[in-house]
Structure 1
Amino acid sequence: MALPPPPTVRLKIRHRAAGLLGFVLALVLLRFPIGRAVVVVTRVKNCVASPASPDEALTAVVAARNAARWFPGRAACLENSLAATFTSLLLRRRLDWCIGARLMPYAAHAWVETGNRPVGEPHTPDRPYLLLLRV
């Protein structure tokens, strides 16, 4: 599934730096089994008290996708959603990292949520995903 284009959000230098560091962390963690990333995100989320507002979450998503534009390899939903989660955590805000799937045709997808609402996703998906994991 192609990601929607990121909205135009003016990023401060600290958001850009957090997005770059979050993207690098995501790339490193995804070289290991996915369970490692789940454990790391869970432990770091326990250290951050404040949930992200929708605007803060959107800023984290845009900052992570902005960093991903410069990556010469694959930067799809899994990489971008984990990078957005780390970006938000580096900015001292919590996001929920979600992984889901659907059948007929089979597809897997990863995204971030705040307040049980997806951030940076199409408002009307063609077919909803069954949530398999929320960290």
Structure 2
Amino acid sequence: MNPTTIDNERAHWDAALDAREAVLAADLRAAAAEVPGGRDEAESDSVRAPAGDRVDIADERLQNGLRYAEAERDMAELRDIAAARERLANGEFGCCIDCGSVIARARLQALPAAARCVVCQERHEKDHPVQVRLPPDL
């Protein structure tokens, strides 16, 4: 590839990473705005609430737990984007971090921060299953 093509490719992937990062940042800001006053407020509401309202409080806690899990996922993807930016800067972007093969362009279009080819990603997911962590107060 000539230098102009390389620069154009780098600019394309940098813009794709910027776009995804902006979406994730907006999602995290929206999630933070939805979080209620905190654990102490929910616990005190639960103690003085009638039985029917306790179901609503439990549902709210469940929804907060889901928002927490979504925020954890978004933050992990932001870390993946930061790692992709490092690979982009050092010329390793688009190469699988496990086997070194070229990651399919279609995969990068769908997930610009992809660090592994499909085969290696499937193996990684099998060897490292995702566990959803919820905050301890739920």
Give the TM-score category using the shorter length: under 0.3
> Relative to total residues, which structure has the larger helix share, 1 or 2?
2
**TM value normalised by structure 2:** 0.24
Work out which structure has the larger RCO, using CA pairs closer than 8 Å and 6 or more positions apart in sequence: 1
**TM value normalised by structure 1:** 0.25
